[in-house]
Structure 1
């Protein structure tokens, strides 16, 4: 591939074997090659005046400014020459355009593959190492004698004690697989009977299920993930050829 051959040629031309070994020792070779491959891949992407202006507006907003008229103030705050800042913004725009052009056709399929991982939940949980206590607390909540938040504050033995038992919004992938399986099929507001995971007894109630939709932000995230995987693959191939 042209990208790999060009990067290989540049590495071999400007960095000696000893230099590459030194970069490798300090874990700098991989990020260097990643940056070189990215630069080579996006080099031909054109940045329009409108695209650059939008990137400036976004940067201003991130820094707490309201419009382009405050651009000189931002440059003073950043302490960087305007050319340096604009060159970096052009890099960001080129990479974004490249990601969308190359991976947009596969973004929806990746989203559908990962949807279960992207969906989020809010749930109440109360953990105890005492199974009899967990059962008693479950019965109190189920009967309406006590509420979940008060009992979690008093009896929970996990970090949920500090949040009134509430966890989330979080991805189901962040929960133990056994808990995730139960939450995935639970009905919001329905208290689950105590169940055991390792040394813990859990009382759980799903509060809200938050399905992810393919918004523009999620679409860009799918493109970014595929781009990152592609860069990683190209980097691995480049380094394997560099060692020959």
Structure 2
């Protein structure tokens, strides 16, 4: 790990080497914000390449190896952050996948693959980083969810939103929201800010390159990552405001 700006806050972004995760890392690591980003990447070579690109632009960022589907990888990441920084100020659970269209897999395999990252991975990462987040003066945890995980929006059976037929991905994001609420409730009295957000339909690998810009998508995530002491907790929102559960 290279030297970081004095008094910088330490933020970990899972799936930070591309797409929305890279945009989050770029925005949050701007020198005006005072954050040092740990760019979590399953493929450390891709992570190093992304981090090097941002560092050449003057951003404070380092790549770390982190595979949400492998507990030993998560444990190694926790140990690295602990030995190097001794705390974590911000955790952004951004990494996510969808296997609804992987017809070469059985239905059970598709559910297991998606949940292993979107739900189990996010939950295990959060739980394992709790001791380091507890050492921060102002812990912030953000779960990058989706409005497709809204049970209320899905319940409007004749709406276009209800008809988006990706039940595995949708249910995984609904489950992620419940995980978020668990931690929001558990640490509210300690002053933590734990929230979920919908970044919008964004042009990424997940959407086949369709949708809006990753820079616009990152805005709501960064907003929640830098909340002040009077900020909200236990919410589900997009950049325009709250979303229904």
Larger Rg: 1
Asked if Structure 1 and Structure 2 have the same fold, meaning a TM-score greater than 0.5 normalized by the shorter chain, the answer is: no
- Which gives a bigger RCO, structure 1 or 2 (Cα 8 Å, sep 6+)? 1
TM class by smaller structure: under 0.3
Q: Counting helix residues as a fraction of each chain, which structure ranks higher?
A: 1
Q: TM-score, normalized by length of structure 2?
A: 0.20
